[in-house]
Amino acid sequence: MNPPATPHSSDAPPASTEIQSKRAGPVRKALMWLLILGAAAFLTHVLAPEISLLRQSMAAIRWPQIALSILVSIPMFVLKGCYHLNLLDRIAGERSSRRRGLPIYLQAQLVRYLPGKIWGIVYQTQRMSQTHQPSEVVIANLWQMATTNALAAGLVISLMLAFRYDYAWLLLLIPVVIAVEWLHRHPAIESWGLRQLSRFFPKLAPLASTRPLPPMPWKGTAMLCSEWIFYFLAFAVMLHGLVGWHELLLLGTWYGGASLLALAAFVVPAGIAVREAIFLAVPDLTGADAATLAITATLARLVFLGAEIAAAIFASMLTFGNRHEQG
């Protein structure tokens, strides 16, 4: 956000913004390490009395299941990439190459593990500079974050209420999905949000044109919902034989909730340690012991990171193979 206009602000040297960013850098790093170390200290405090049980749980892990759950999770990240490219098509007004765009998006998701979180978007904008304006990539990422997290929040709340109290709460999923589809079908809200962003971020102003964005077909909502199918399928494979089905679904749902809450720690790359600390902080939600929660959080982090890496590699290999054939 640009600073408010002040007397002689137009005469300020361009280097002032660089100075501000340099000053903010150490503060951001200090806050990042403070959150990570604080979360690690909390995890150590919680798990210290559970060492023996933790060892038993680790011994019960079946690593072939973990490998299979990684494979099961790959379509979830491919769907995220396809949804993102659909958003870019609507904003840019033309269809882009999936063979080129999908590997770039998936690679950018891995770059976000670097400190700062913004580097994933920076990487994507640079790699797609020949076909898309940086502002288009930024807007697509922001809108995807908004719709994905809105659906995730509704799903987590309804599923937690259903698994904890009464399955009738599953009916809450209907208005949640309808609301997301309504947003896709009424791009006027998206256009309004675009104009509001351009007021505070002048660099995004070129996108706030009078050209109305086209509505997104129903497949957009279908892709967002399908991501959750593979998400829970990964938990089912990962924890099969370790916990019962009811506890498995409850753990998967709460892990999704912890991931949402960890977004508040935006200075921490991918919410490392913070997400796990949140997941263990409220054991009464799942009724599981600290050892089970710790193993679940560790395995989930391993599985989904492995799936992200595998998805990026496979998509890049397909692109390389296509170029090789054309050559």
Indicate whether 93 pLDDT > 60: yes
Please check whether residue 273 lies inside any domain of the structure. yes
Please check whether residue 147 lies inside any domain of the structure. yes
Query: What pLDDT score was predicted for residue 45?
Result: 66
**Whole-structure pTM value:** 0.81
Q: Domain count of the chain?
A: 1
pLDDT digits (tens, 9 = 90+) for 221-261: 999 999 999 999 999 999 988 888 989 999 999 999 999 99
Range of 310's domain?
Answer: 75-326
Query: What pLDDT score was predicted for residue 132?
Result: 84
> How many Å apart are CA 277 and CA 288, to the nearest integer?
15
Please check whether residue 44 lies inside any domain of the structure. no
Mean pLDDT along residues 277-281: 89
Are 121 and 266 a contacting pair, CB within 8 Å?
A: no
Please check whether residue 172 lies inside any domain of the structure. yes
Query: What pLDDT score was predicted for residue 131?
Result: 83
Query: What pLDDT score was predicted for residue 24?
Result: 55
280: left (phi over 0), alpha (psi -120 to 50) or beta: alpha
pLDDT digits (tens, 9 = 90+) for 168-220: 999 999 999 999 999 888 877 776 766 666 666 666 555 555 556 788 888 99
Query: What pLDDT score was predicted for residue 236?
Result: 95
Are 238 and 299 a contacting pair, CB within 8 Å?
A: yes
Distances, alpha carbon 150 to alpha carbons 83, 155, 184, 254, 303, in Å: 15, 9, 13, 16, 24
Query: What pLDDT score was predicted for residue 2?
Result: 40
